[in-house]
Amino acid sequence: MFGGKGGLGKTTFSAATAFYLAKQGKKVLVFSVDPQASLSDIFKQNIFGKGPTEIMPNLYAQEIDADLRVKEYQQEIRQKILDMYGMEKIPDEIESYIQAAAAEPAMEESAIFDEVVDIVVKGGFDYYIYDLVPLGHALYYLSMASVYDEWIEKITGLRQQMREYDQVAAVMKRDKELDEDAILNELLYIKDRINKSSSILTDKEKTAFFFVLTAEEMVINDTLKAAELFAKFEVPLSGYIVNRVLPKELKSLEIPEYLKNRLNMQEKYLKVIEEKFKGQILAHVPEMERDVTGLEMIEKLASTMFT
């Protein structure tokens, strides 16, 4: 997984890493869990909502269509209500609730993250490269998992207690008696999904999380705070990559004052990075001469990152 503030190069690093691993003979899926995904732009191929799309031998890319996933959610909910309660039609008040829930701000993020669980659990690839959402959203996922897990634990416990009492049957009885196990099984299913989603992010043997940062004060400060929060959720932090480093040799050339100032600022903050993230910097990646789009530039970036 590559994480960091928006616009620092997470997507390009994800693409370059996927390219590098594919060239090593590994079957790789790079996918974006960012609603503003840009893998299509980088690979110069429209992959949005099309599932895993082959870019070249061993390399597949995917952009998740959150709207489609939310619609699938809604249909699943309708079907479960019909099956559990023996209804022929969803009541209007329930339908209006389903529609309103789909408009919740967190629904899109939840839908995307649920798709991530499906992708990884399904298998079929040697490596999965996450182009992760900006830091705040990633932390939201982690906190959501722990909160939901606790909530489901309580509800499941109550549900199991209720089953022990005969009066539950009287309360719940309808024209068609409700299957107690169906509700309990649904709760256990949700709990299992939540556990899988959080375990993917915290698996120290299988998961590596890389922070992307640049030599700028605000970026450094935000990354330090985020790393501290991620550590609390036991995300396996594997190191930091410094992006957009201007070449030092520019200083010896006749360059504009503006560029000299940029180089001096960079020098200052590279020292700060070395001090704050001592021993954890895995690579300094230079500023590329043009946008990293298309396989030729992706290959160039991959070569810089991994050599």
Q: How far apart are CA 227 and CA 148, in angstroms?
A: 23
DSSP 8-state symbol, 172: H
Residue type, 246: L
Residue 179: predicted pLDDT: 58
**pLDDT digit string (tens) for 70-106?**
888 889 889 988 987 888 899 999 899 888 887 776 6
Residue 135: predicted pLDDT: 59
Q: Are residues 135 and 96 in the same domain?
A: no
Q: How far apart are CA 237 and CA 2, in angstroms?
A: 10
Q: Are residues 60 and 83 in the same domain?
A: no
Q: How far apart are CA 66 and CA 114, in angstroms?
A: 10
Give the start-end residues of each E strand in 110-259: 127-131, 209-213, 237-245
Tell me whether residue 254 is in a domain.
yes
- Which 3 state secondary structure label does DSSP give 141? helix
**pLDDT digit string (tens) for 98-114?**
888 877 766 776 777 77
Q: Are residues 10 and 130 in the same domain?
A: yes
Q: Are residues 253 and 302 in the same domain?
A: yes
CATH of the domain at 233: 3.40.50.300
Q: Are residues 123 and 266 in the same domain?
A: yes
176 pLDDT band, cuts 50/70/90, is very low
171 pLDDT band, cuts 50/70/90, is low
What percentage of the chain carries pLDDT values higher than 70?
Answer: 86
Residue 270 has pLDDT above 50, yes or no: yes
Q: Are residues 208 and 274 in the same domain?
A: yes
Q: What is the mean pLDDT of the segment spanning 233-260?
A: 90
Number of domains in the chain: 2
Tell me whether residue 22 is in a domain.
yes
Q: Are residues 213 and 81 in the same domain?
A: no
Tell me whether residue 159 is in a domain.
no
Q: Are residues 126 and 252 in the same domain?
A: yes
5 pLDDT band, cuts 50/70/90, is confident
Q: Are residues 112 and 248 in the same domain?
A: yes
Domain ranges, residue 35: 2-69+108-144+203-306
**pLDDT digit string (tens) for 152-164?**
778 777 777 776 6
Question: What is the pTM (predicted TM-score) of this model?
Answer: 0.83
More confident of the two residues 42 and 161: 42
Residue 276: predicted pLDDT: 96
Q: Tokens 């597949």 label which residue?
A: 60
Tell me whether residue 196 is in a domain.
no
Q: Are residues 26 and 82 in the same domain?
A: no
Q: Are residues 285 and 226 in the same domain?
A: yes
Q: How far apart are CA 97 and CA 154, in angstroms?
A: 24
Distance set, CA 281 to CA 71, 130, 212, 306 (Å): 42, 20, 10, 13
Q: Tokens 């560029």 label which residue?
A: 259
Tell me whether residue 116 is in a domain.
yes
Q: Are residues 234 and 112 in the same domain?
A: yes
